Structure 1
Amino acid sequence: MRIKAGLERIPGGLMMVPLLLGSVINTLFPTAAKTFGSFTGAMMTGALPILSVFFFCMGATIDFKATPYILKKGGALLGSKILAGTALGLIAAQFMPTGMVDSGLFAGLSVLAIVASMNDTNGGLYMALIGQYGKKEDGGAYTLMSMESGPFFTMLTLGIAGLAAFPWEAFVGAILPLLVGMILGNLDNELRDFVKPAIPILIPFFAFGLGNTLNLETVWKSGLLGILLGVGVVAVSGTVLILADRLTGGNGIAGIAAASTAGNAAAVPAAIASIDKSYIAIAPSATMLVATCVIVTAILVPLATAVYAKWINSRQANQA
């Protein structure tokens, strides 16, 4: 049986399938984690410990010795995406003073979901698209962009929007595994090479744990709204990132290729809720919205990148 190959044919499959499996178990057998306890219960409820290891491994892959071009390009794309997420979060906060829409067509939409979906780029998708359509040196930009991983920037945005007040210890705790990984990975290249393969391995495990906090009713309700959110992420962040790419000497392909949502972004709402208990009620719907956004952007971004690259190449050919 080719289980892994089958999962990889589904956009975001390594994240989405375990997430949905966990939500099915939690919906049909909500006491399963307590019933089985021990290691089984720990796997069903231990998303945060697994995530802390995941962020450590991500940090270890960030190289301080990046070339000036990579720092310029990665910094521009990272900064632009964070600023776009912050701007949308601040605007959304004006229309959602409680942080979430409680009724109507957009019921379940929250500032948390919007910011989390904007703040993290699908690195694997970005690298693949750059390899096919972009410049080789632009691929290295993700070295810096991977600093998006984790809840830190989302916490910062919620704090700026006045929707949360996190103590400084919470900010440090949110970014500490990533920072420790960065330091150790740069002190020892062998350590970096040792932990790097663990990144994709950990994804289905923390996804399964997150799924066990969700109910299928939440999954159903997030469908159309999640699709709209995904389209919005590509449209808004794509426009901003293309502009940032062109301003730093690129042709915009690296920008549109970065306009996606990473699978691990779906873990951010739960991480935020573990720090600020007022987000416990919002986190389930936000998790599914972001998870749906992962799938939608995984489909739309390659299509948008291909169309944009064709237009750019045609334009350059006509100018030659």
Structure 2
Amino acid sequence: MNQGTIYKSPTWVIPPEERRTASALFNCALYQQKIDIVPKLQKTFNGEKLQFHYFSNTDELVRLCKRYPLDLIVIAVDGDFSDAHMMIMEAKEQMFLSIVPLVVYYPGDDENIYRRALDCEADELFVGAWDQRGFEVRLKMLLKRSRRDLGVNPSSRLPGPSMIDKRVNKLIDSKKDFAVCYLDIDNFKAYNDYYGYFYGDKVIRLTAQIVRDIVFDLVPDGFIGHIGGDDFIFIIPYDKIDLICSNIIKTFDRLIPYRYKEEDRVRGRIITRNRFEQDEVYPMLTISIAVLVCQNGAFSHSGEMSHMLADLKKYTKKLAGSNYMIERRKKY
């Protein structure tokens, strides 16, 4: 993208009164069998921007998880629990689903439900008549524990460093060929300092959504992680590198100008003052993607790949504009 390119569009900056009331959408995946608990959940999350995504099997739930940053999975069953039991077990085997709190509600008094819920590793079980106050407290405590304990980045709802390492090591042990792509947003610190964390976080969320949509559209069983800040990891087949990286760059470069005020967008850059009261000029945000290919058992653990990716990323970031660079050498 040329720095002088002019994009005509309405200014995107949210006015102060709207900024104070803005809150993230709470995404709840819901399975119901012979029961309707939507009104009860709406009352429990009163004040939240609650959106339900309904599913009837594990495949549909997986697709939902890849499309939306799910906060909670609720399975409510009145009657035979067999299908739900199998669905929960399958969900817990999926990495992206296993990090989302999963709650079961069963209105009956079947004593076996406790054992079966424990067996399938549900995160919380509500049994009997709906106790609005009690269930609300337990549910919100579960969500707080989940956000505190799991290695999930709160901005992007993507797996964090520990889960990235786990996936990379698993692929290395499997002896499969794959590519690890390390994405970094160029000039992000300057943007974040200039516009503030509120808008910086919106850029992080936008980037996460771009990577999520493109990777999962082209590689349904791919992996995406968020190291932290403006650093992302995605793992794909090595023969999809050019297709995926070029599409991510094209989409990012097309959308990112609309994350600037109109006057900055017209200039194609931002101008800030440093602590010495000197002007500093920064071009529009771009992205650098360092790509490391693992073939024929080239690496023995994730640390070796991490070291090479960090070096390659530094070199890629020196190039102007958005770029991706592929390193096919073995470890050094």
Q: TM-score, normalised by structure 1?
A: 0.26
Higher percent of residues as strand? 2
Structure in which a larger fraction of residues adopt helix: 1
Higher relative contact order (CA 8 A, sep 6+): 1
